[in-house]
Amino acid sequence: MNSIIVSCKNIVKTFNAGEAEVKALQGVTLDVYENELLMLVGPSGCGKTTFVSVLSGLLSFDSGACEVMGKNIADMSDEEITAFRGKNIGFVFQAFNLLPSLTAIENVALPLTVAGEKRTKALNLSKKMLEAVGLGKKAYVKPSGLSGGEQQRVAIARALVHNPKFIICDEPTSSLDHTSGQIVMELLQKIIKEKGASMIVVTHDNRIYKYADRIVHMEDGKIIKVAS
């Protein structure tokens, strides 16, 4: 059995939106193992984004416990969480969030240069990462010159360039056509198997379920089923 990289116990999260109270997470317990691609699925509004935001330290929670790579998230200060996330977690979102004025390689290099890496080294690492996602030839093209699938592959290169052990993808294929979605998933699967990283993919695209090692089904803030 592979070791546990994320361990969440009985997480409760309530949003207070004016008068109304939304119970977004109602006691979520889940372990994520090393080298696994876990999919988190369920209807819109069931708490998927809230859950991955909690376990990456982007959102606080009301009760329960959450350990990521042996660190208790609730015990860390904001600065510690930000530094931990920058070092250990990679994010891929539905909207690619690339900067339009920068080339693909500059977009990938950005988190490294922000973290203080020298520009030449950052660009070298970014070139290698773009080659790994099959976009070596498009390194000097701006996002407007790339297809949606290519832009998402640049976003993946950017999320992985610092070699995170844990990768969170929130609806990574929702704005892509079927073929581009399959290419992106094949790439994500290959990368985590090669690097021994772990990944949570939030999705409601059932055409990509086949890439999962485990599928966790959520409904109304709870896990209702786990399938292997």
Q: Structure tokens of 148?
A: 């949606």
CB 126 within 8 Å of CB 108: yes
Q: Within positions 38 to 67, which residues make up the interface with Mg ion, using CB under 5 A?
A: 49
Kindly tell me which residue out of 44, 77, 120, 228 binds ligand ADP, with binding defined by CB under 6 A: 44
Which residue among 11, 24, 125, 200 contacts ligand ADP (CB under 6 A)? Answer: 24
Distance CA 170, CA 83 (A): 21
d(Cα 9, Cα 86) in Å, to the nearest integer?
24
| Binding window for ligand ADP (CB under 6 A); candidates: 30-38, 48-56, 60-68, 192-200 | 48-56
CB 96 within 8 A of CB 140: no
d(CA 168, CA 117): 23
Residue of 10, 58, 13 lying closest to 30 (CA atoms): 10
Q: Cβ of residue 47: shortest distance to ligand ADP, in angstroms?
A: 4
Binding part of the chain for ligand ADP, among 28-36, 46-54, 86-94, 189-197 by CB under 6 A, reads: 46-54
The size of the interface with Mg ion (CB under 5 A), counted in residues, is: 1
In the complex, what is the shortest distance from the CB of residue 76 to ligand ADP, in angstroms, rounded to a whole number?
Answer: 21
What part of residues 50-69 is at the interface with ligand ADP (CB under 6 A)?
50
CB of 170 to ligand ADP, least distance (A): 7
Decide: is 165 part of the binding site for ligand ADP (CB under 6 A): no
Token pair, residue 196, equals 């021994």
Residue carrying the six token digits 């109602």:
26
Taking CB within 5 to 8 Å according to partner kind, which of ligand ADP, Mg ion, none is near residue 17? ligand ADP
How many whole angstroms from its chain centre is CA 103? 22
Q: Least distance from C-beta 186 to ligand ADP, angstroms?
A: 24
Contact between 18 and ligand ADP by CB under 6 A: the answer reads no
Alpha helices (runs of H) in 133-228, residue ranges in sequence order: 148-160, 178-195
Binding partner selected for residue 140 from Mg ion, ligand ADP, none, CB under the kind-specific 5 to 8 Å limit: none
Residues 6 or more apart from 49 whose CB is under 8 A from it?
A: 170, 202
Binding flag, residue 48, ligand ADP (CB under 6 A): yes
Binding region for ligand ADP (CB under 6 A) = 15, 17, 22, 24, 44-50
